[in-house]
Amino acid sequence: MPSYTPMIQQYLKIKARYTDCFLFFRLGDFYEMFFDDATKAAQELEITLTSRDGGGEERIPMCGIPYHASTNYIKTLVERGYKVAICEQVEDPKTAKGVVKRDVVQVITPGTVMEGAMLLENENNYLASVDCIDDHYTLSFIDLSTGELYVLTVDQFDRLKSEIYNRPIKEVVISDRLSTKEQHVLSDELQLTVSHHTLADTIDYASFDALLTNVDHNSLQQAVIRLIHYIRSTQQRSLEHVQPAEIIELSGYLGLDMHSKRNLELTETMMKKGKQGSLLWVLDQTVTAMGGRYLKKWLERPLLDERALNERYNMVEGLLDQFIERDALREDLQSIYDLERLSGRVAFGNVNPRDLQQLKLSLSRIPGLKQTLSTFTSPYLQTIGEDLDTLAELRDLLEQSLADEPPMTLKEGGIIQDGFDPQLDEYRDASRNGKQWINALEQQEREETKIKSLKIGYNRVFGYYIEVTKANLHLLPEGKYERKQTLTNAERYITPELKEKENLILQAEEKSLELELQLFTELREKVKAYIPRLQQLAERVSTLDVLQSFAVVSEQEGYVKPTLTKQETLTITEGRHPVVEKVMTDGMYVPNDITLDGETKMLLITGPNMSGKSTYMRQIALTVIMAQIGCFVPAESATLPVFDQIFTRIGAADDLVSGQSTFMVEMLESKHALDFATNNSLILLDEIGRGTSTYDGMALAQAIIEHVHDHIGAKTLFSTHYHELTSLSESLTQLENVHVSAEEHDGEVIFLHKIKPGPADESYGIHVAKLAGLPGSLINRANVILQLLESNQAEDKGAKIKETAVSFESLEQAVINKKAVSKAHQQTDDQLSFFAETKSVSSNSKTTRLEKKLKQLDLMSMTPIDAMNALFDLKKELQGEE
């Protein structure tokens, strides 16, 4: 660095401490970037890349942005996952000896943004901390803009990944205890900004005590401390608005892994990654930014507490029953600004006068909100109203101090109300009277000189001046005016009298601005003391907003209050998919029933493609989720147990980031359900096994069904195109076949979208291809091939079933013996061989009854797997008699 100029050396020293950030280096009215930062920023921000001489052998790449327009540029970089270090002058250039001292005053990252323009008002913006201690993973996360702070622990990395995915976390701070693979999952698969932060030995742990009052476990404390220490080191601002950490006990909420949240499209759609088309889109009738964020949090963490859910139902019912009062409530809420983020900006020190004006207006609506709530007959709503804190003393303070229409910035003046501070009033009076004197002087000079175009103006360089056009210069009296500036068509003058008044006016204005800034700072500090009460008020207002949203949606869409039961029964009458119903403009949605109880815990769903199997499965899960966030549900009636977890495997997609195929993703998601589901869970599995060969897929599907049935006992919906699996209802007592009906008329298929008992007859795959618009010649050829295949299959099936009937004992051996099955696969091209070495069956008196049963079987109408199951049952019966 010796060859570089002192300023560039200063830049490089500071940049060395912030190598993972763009360094915005303040030079005058610009933020400048140099070297690699400049090259990369020019590309990302699409600004001009230039160069300058920095004292070295080559010119240095350079680009810059105006200081006053920096917000949008910073927003662009942060949204793309970058960090920006703001480097400001930290000493007065007038007193500096040599290069003005500069240092980083703030690091803006995806998880620490505070400016309103960089935040989505209806979504939280979380910064998280992740660590691994004693084979357990800790996750602490904070929304710096609202002060919400949470911490939890999980025992597996996959669960940690789900918890991170299920929340709007933008950045994660990690320790070196995470493996390289785990770090790559966070950065590449979850696409988070990853920051490394090591806790120093010299940390004052006592300074974190206020945030750890609810946290007593050491590993959880360490997670919170790492997170807060990172924020303190990067922001260098007050964090008085940060609330004590709240421990999230996952056992108290409905478990939704990342696959289920994605498959069910709770907050965004899988295809467009947008809100429209999601469950959130249907339910969101909130009118405040706080309520919008709160609704999303409720969707992220549905409840298991039956008492709390019934309280929510009762409040929604109370809001539904009184339309006029509910409409008044919505009007009151619409006038309330974002109290959470206003509190955050107050604590952070970046609140502006307009923000405090919004706070004042919001508080002025609380008394009316309390009055509206008192008019409801629901005791729950009345209680919320009684508990609302009006913060009357804060409202009075703001009304007395703030001007009615304050400016956005602190430099313009006009922030403080007249009459609030006597000294400020004196300065303002001097300034206003001085300007009146200037106006009077201008009129006087015009009359004395007879120059109607004479005017008195002002600029920062010369102050006040008298301007006279050159055509009128001969009218000026001699000796009174002192020439100050010559223009093309005019001359500017000053007089001793004007100069004296100028000093008084400018001094009053300068002192007035200084005093206003001081008074505003003092006001901001006074507001800080009310932050905890403001946050509590914000929580109650948010709750009201979400509940009224539920009431509005329930009334508009015809939702009903669900009944929660401690029994195993799930009964939904005329249930509907809330999203599909909303987007169907013709109002022709076909509702369906479902009943699952102690006797029937599994439904095996068959039916044509596009008939609505997946929609039916999703609507059951969405109904459960809506019920467990306290919302009414889309049905004629619904009786539901409280589920502990929902697992889904719906849809198929390759995971290109981690290099996993469709089938591998399918198996991993199925494994997750099988590992963690309980008998109180809901499992939705859609066409498991379709990603591999027919027989592998069929075998896996049957094994999964049997495992869930025999070992888990969860309520399960399983859709399939393997019609052979429908025979499982004969051996699995808690499984029932249902199908989505369709009719064929004049060669055309009509999907009825109605769930009916029993298995489906056909798949109608070629008809679906026809609907998709495949060429007619291709469709005709497919029909010919289908007829040939069905004909050959019938012949093979008849021969094999006859042969199987003779050797049913060898069937069991082929199924159990893996080598025999493998050998059987090699013996045939298109069918699973059921044959191995045949053993004779003794014809004693004990087998006569079994032979009679065997003769009664209609083998020619049975599928191979039907025959296999029937023969297996006969074999078991034979073994029992022996």
Q: What pLDDT score does 112 carry?
A: 95
Q: What pLDDT score does 134 carry?
A: 82
Buried b (16+ CB within 10 A) or exposed e, 249-279: eeeebbbbbbbbbbbbbbbbeeeeeebebbb
| Banded model confidence at residue 837, pLDDT cuts 50, 70, 90 | very low
Q: What pLDDT score does 749 carry?
A: 74
Surface-to-core class of residue 787, CB atoms within 10 Å of its CB (0-12 exposed, 13-18 middle, 19+ buried): exposed
| Banded model confidence at residue 879, pLDDT cuts 50, 70, 90 | low
Q: Among the listed ranges 205-214, 455-464, 466-475, 515-524, which one has the minimum average pLDDT value?
A: 455-464
The SS3 call for residue 389 is coil
Q: What pLDDT score does 838 carry?
A: 41
| Banded model confidence at residue 708, pLDDT cuts 50, 70, 90 | very high
**Whole-number average pLDDT of the chain:** 87
| Average pLDDT rounded to a whole number, residues 52-73 | 91
Greatest CA span in the chain, whole angstroms?
146
**In this model, does residue 313 exceed pLDDT 80?**
yes
Buried b (16+ CB within 10 A) or exposed e, 680-696: ebbbbbbbbbbbbeeee
The whole-angstrom separation of Cα 34 and Cα 61 is 6
Q: What pLDDT score does 493 carry?
A: 94
| Average pLDDT rounded to a whole number, residues 521-549 | 96
More confident residue, 271 or 112: 112
414: tokens are 């006009």
Cα 789-794-800 angle, rounded to 5 deg: 120
The whole-angstrom separation of Cα 156 and Cα 158 is 5
Q: Among the listed ranges 10-14, 439-443, 841-845, which one has the minimum average pLDDT value?
A: 841-845
**In this model, does residue 831 exceed pLDDT 70?**
no
More confident residue, 317 or 93: 317
Q: What pLDDT score does 446 carry?
A: 93
The SS3 call for residue 513 is helix
More confident residue, 777 or 161: 161
Q: What pLDDT score does 20 carry?
A: 94
**In this model, does residue 343 exceed pLDDT 50?**
yes
| Banded model confidence at residue 813, pLDDT cuts 50, 70, 90 | very low
Q: Which residue has the tokens 């001009």?
A: 48
Paired sense of beta strands 84-89 and 22-27, if any:
parallel
| Average pLDDT rounded to a whole number, residues 452-468 | 89
The whole-angstrom separation of Cα 538 and Cα 336 is 10
This prediction has a pTM of 0.82
Residue 228 CB neighbours (<10 A): 21
- The annotated binding site for ATP is made up of 607-614
Q: What pLDDT score does 611 carry?
A: 82
- The annotated binding site is made up of 607-614
- DSSP secondary structure of 41-61: HHHHHT---EEE--SSSSPEE
Cβ pair 248, 594 in contact under 8 A: no
| Average pLDDT rounded to a whole number, residues 208-234 | 93
Cβ pair 450, 475 in contact under 8 A: yes
- The model's pLDDT over 670-698, given as tens digits with 9 standing for 90+, comes to 888 999 999 999 999 998 877 677 788 88
The whole-angstrom separation of Cα 740 and Cα 594 is 13
The SS3 call for residue 464 is strand
Surface-to-core class of residue 555, CB atoms within 10 Å of its CB (0-12 exposed, 13-18 middle, 19+ buried): middle
Cite the beta strand spans of 490-544 per DSSP E.
490-494
Whole-Å CA distances, 560 to 366, 597, 632, 665: 31, 21, 5, 36
312: tokens are 């929510």
Q: Which domains does the chain have, with CATH numbers?
A: 6-108 (3.40.1170.10), 116-248 (3.30.420.110), 284-391+530-557 (1.10.1420.10), 422-525 (1.10.1420.10), 564-774 (3.40.50.300), 786-881 (no CATH)
Paired sense of beta strands 169-174 and 126-133, if any:
parallel
Cβ pair 239, 228 in contact under 8 A: yes
| Average pLDDT rounded to a whole number, residues 783-791 | 74
Torsion, CA 375, CA 378, CA 384, CA 387, rounded to 10: 70
Buried b (16+ CB within 10 A) or exposed e, 345-368: bbbbeebbbebbbbbbebbebbee
The whole-angstrom separation of Cα 79 and Cα 190 is 15
Paired sense of beta strands 602-606 and 715-719, if any:
parallel
The whole-angstrom separation of Cα 460 and Cα 223 is 54
- The model's pLDDT over 609-623, given as tens digits with 9 standing for 90+, comes to 788 899 999 999 999
Q: Which residue has the tokens 């998880």?
A: 111
Return the half-sphere exposure (C-beta side, CA atoms, 13 A cut-off) of residue 446: 11
The whole-angstrom separation of Cα 398 and Cα 484 is 46
